[in-house]
């Protein structure tokens, strides 16, 4: 899997970009990924494992064969809470931003969460990430006033 140079979005109409969820055997869709979509290059083995897990979900935005955006999530259960979806991250190639692609990716994941019986979804981002906060708000997200504290463990 590799990143390739983005097709310039000038003149791209938002309706030319298709947003859909990837299925368990669609790792090859991630063969052509525009810059800034993922944080790191896509690892084929990890991608295959991710997509094979029925609790992992990946929505992609495609301009032809080029992946220009993605949003990943996992749905989970607790013994004392209803199903929820954690939106892990979202990314849209810089030259495709401001076309509503991020909102469409989130809408695809949220619609899927509803089908799975999830009663809610949530995502974390940095306070300084103004672009992400605008996108999440535009998608209907409501910021909690009591900011969470992230604790990280290395294993």
Q: Are 119 and 84 in contact (CB under 8 A)?
A: yes
Q: Report d(CA 135, CA 103) in Å as an integer.
A: 6
Please provide the average confidence, as pLDDT, over all residues in the chain: 90
For the chain, helix, strand, coil in percent to 5 are 30, 25, 45
Assign a CATH topology to domain 17-138.
Aminopeptidase (3.40.630)
Spans of all domains in the chain: 17-138
Q: Are 56 and 102 in contact (CB under 8 A)?
A: no
Please report the pLDDT score of residue 6 as a whole number.
47
Given a cut of 90, whether residue 153 has pLDDT beyond it is no
Closest CA to 21 of 104, 134, 138, 82: 104
Mean pLDDT over residues 79-84, rounded? Answer: 93
Q: Report d(CA 120, CA 82) in Å as an integer.
A: 8
Element (H, E) at 91: strand 84-92
Closest CA to 109 of 146, 144, 131, 135: 135
For residue 12, give both structure tokens: 């791209």
Mean pLDDT over residues 31-60, rounded? Answer: 96
Model's pTM, two decimal places? 0.87
117: Cα within 13 Å, side-chain hemisphere: 6
- In this prediction, residue 115 has a pLDDT band, given cuts at 50, 70 and 90, of very high
Given a cut of 80, whether residue 145 has pLDDT beyond it is yes
16: Cα within 13 Å, side-chain hemisphere: 13
Q: What percent of the chain has pLDDT over 90?
A: 67
Element (H, E) at 59: strand 56-63
């Amino acid at each position: 899997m590799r990143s390739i140079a983005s097709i310039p979005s000038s003149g791209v109409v938002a309706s030319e970009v298709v947003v859909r969820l990837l299925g368990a055997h669609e790792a090859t869709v991630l063969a052509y990924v525009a810059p800034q979509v993922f944080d790191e290059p896509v690892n084929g083995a990890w991608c295959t494992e991710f997509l094979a897990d029925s609790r992992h979900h990946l929505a992609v935005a495609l301009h032809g064969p080029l992946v220009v955006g993605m949003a990943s999530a996992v749905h989970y259960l607790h013994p004392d809470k209803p199903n929820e979806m954690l939106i892990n991250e979202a990314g849209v190639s810089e030259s495709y931003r401001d076309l509503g692609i991020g909102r469409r990716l989130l809408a695809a994941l949220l619609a899927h969460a509803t089908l799975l019986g999830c009663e809610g979804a949530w995502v974390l981002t940095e306070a300084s990430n103004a672009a992400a906060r605008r996108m999440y708000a535009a998608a209907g997200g409501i910021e909690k006033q009591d900011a969470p504290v992230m604790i990280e463990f290395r294993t």
